[in-house]
Structure 1
C-alpha cells in the first residue's frame, strides 16, 4: 500500500504548531526548525495542488508565567511560509494534544478524514501527544519525520541532544502509532 493515496482520498494534512516562536530569533527556537519548515512546505504544496484537506493547529499558552505562544503575540502566529489559505481550517489549542478541548475531531470527521499526515513542532511534545490521541481515535497516521522539529532536553542531570530526542520520539511513534517517513514519501 502506498504511503499516501495518489488522490489523497480520505487523507488530511495536519500541521501542528508551526509557529514563529519556534524559529531563529524568536522566543523558543528549535533545532532544525527551518529545515522542518521547508519539508512541511513540500507536503503542504502537494495537498494544496490536490485540493485535499489541510488543517493548521496553533498553540496559545494561557498558563501563568508562559514565555512563548502568548495569545495575540506575533510569535504565536503560524509561520508565514505556511500561512493558511481560504478553506483551510485553523484550530487553536491550549494543550499538547491537539484534540483536547478543540473542534479538531469534528473538523476531521466532517471532512471524511480517515488518514492523517502530520508535520509539526515539537516532536517530543505536541506532535507526539497529537499522534497518539489520533491513533486512539482510530485514524491511520503517517508522520513526515523530517518535517518535524524538537530541541535539546535535560533529564537526570544531563542534556539530551535534539537529534537524539527526535530519533527517540519518532522511533516510539513508528513502533505502534504511525508510519514515519521522509516528507518526500508524501510530497511526491
Structure 2
C-alpha cells in the first residue's frame, strides 16, 4: 500500500476514560497506542475525536435516542470520564476534536481540520465499531475520503456486531487491516 504521509491521518475516536472502562479487551488500548506511534513515526498526523457536551447538555435532544438516554452530566465538560485514555494520550501538538453526536463529523470541526491539512485518506480506530466508527465511515465516504479501518483497533461491546461490520459492511467502503499490517505498511 502506498501511504502518502502528507495526505493520511489516523483518527483515534472515543478512546476516552469512561468509554474504555467498558472495553473487555485488555490489549485494546496498547494496540491503538501502537498504531498512533507508528503514525507519528511515519509523519502521519494523529487526530483525536472525543464526545463532549457543554454543561447541562444543551446540544442534546430528548428525541435523539442515544444522546437523550445519557445520564445527566455524563460526557459533559465537567466529567473527568471525557478525558482521552492515558494509554493513548495526545501529544501537545496533536489535534483533539470535540463532537456532539455519534459521527466524528457531527457537531465538530473535523472536516475543516482535515481539509485544511489536505488530508484525503482516513485511518479509523475507535469505540464502538457500531457507533462512532460506522457513523464516521459512512459520512467520510460520502465526503470522498479514502478509508482504511484498523479492524483490531475498533471495539464493540457486541462481538457479533463487530464481526458483521468488519467482514460484511465496511469492505464496501474501506480497506480493512489489522494494526500489525498497518504498522508494517506505514513504516
Structure (1 or 2) with the greater strand fraction = 1
The match for 1:159 is none
The match for 1:18 is 15
Distance 1:9 1:37 in 2: 25
Please state how far the C-alpha of 1:85 moved relative to its aligned partner: 0.9
Distance 2:7 2:108 in 1: 21
SS at match of 1:37: helix
Q: How many residues align?
A: 170
The match for 1:97 is 103
Q: Are residue 134 (structure 1) and residue 140 (structure 2) matched?
A: yes
What's the CA shift string for 1:104-129, capped at 9, x where partnerless? 00100111111111111111111110
- Residue segments in structure 1 that go unaligned for 5+ positions in a row: 152-161
Please state how far the C-alpha of 1:163 moved relative to its aligned partner: 1.4
Please state how far the C-alpha of 1:65 moved relative to its aligned partner: 5.3
**Equivalent of 2:88 in 82, 89, 93:** 82
What's the CA shift string for 1:69-119, capped at 9, x where partnerless? 233211111001111112211100110111112110010011111111111
Distance 2:32 2:101 in 1: 22
Distance 2:121 2:113 in 1: 13
Distance 1:175 1:83 in 2: 29
**Equivalent of 1:182 in 173, 178, 185:** 178
The match for 1:155 is none
The match for 1:170 is 166
Q: Are residue 43 (structure 1) and residue 29 (structure 2) matched?
A: no
Q: Are residue 31 (structure 1) and residue 27 (structure 2) matched?
A: no
Please state how far the C-alpha of 1:136 moved relative to its aligned partner: 0.6
The match for 1:72 is 78
Q: Is the 8 A contact 1:97 1:126 kept in 2?
A: yes
Distance 1:71 1:169 in 2: 31
What's the CA shift string for 1:39-74, capped at 9, x where partnerless? 111110011112321110000253455234233211
Distance 2:36 2:178 in 1: 14
Q: Is the 8 A contact 1:20 1:78 kept in 2?
A: yes
